[in-house]
Amino acid sequence: MDDMTQYNALFSNATSSASTQKAAAGVHSAGATAQLKGADQGRNVEQAKQAAEDFEAVFLAQMLGPIFDSLETDGMFGGGSGEKIYRSLLVQEYGKAIAKSSGIGISDAVQSEILKLQEVSQ
């Protein structure tokens, strides 16, 4: 009987210690989860901002494209398929530059809509 009492005492200490460790791990896990959610939200805001800025850059490039297409090229050293390709790349970069330097306000509206949609889906 003496051995059985010692066994029961050891077993109850071990299980209470294990449950305490599990509870502590649960609290730590909940804190880590909340911290990850906060980090995810911060990352989501940054990703939404980047997506909105990219959208505005593409929009601006599409609006600037016809303007640059209507420009005449220089005679001997201008024109050709190479200029068309590089001109389109230049227009894309102009769109990115304009969007990056505060743009025309489209990215703010797009970012707020993206964030609203994310809140609804969660």
Q: What is the pLDDT of residues 41-83, one digit of tens each?
A: 678 899 999 999 999 999 999 999 999 888 887 777 777 778 8
Tell me the three state secondary structure of residue 119. Answer: helix
Determine the Cα–Cα distance for residues 93 and 110; give it in Å rounded to an integer. 20
Determine the Cα–Cα distance for residues 83 and 73; give it in Å rounded to an integer. 9
Determine the Cα–Cα distance for residues 97 and 100; give it in Å rounded to an integer. 5
Q: Whole-model pTM?
A: 0.61
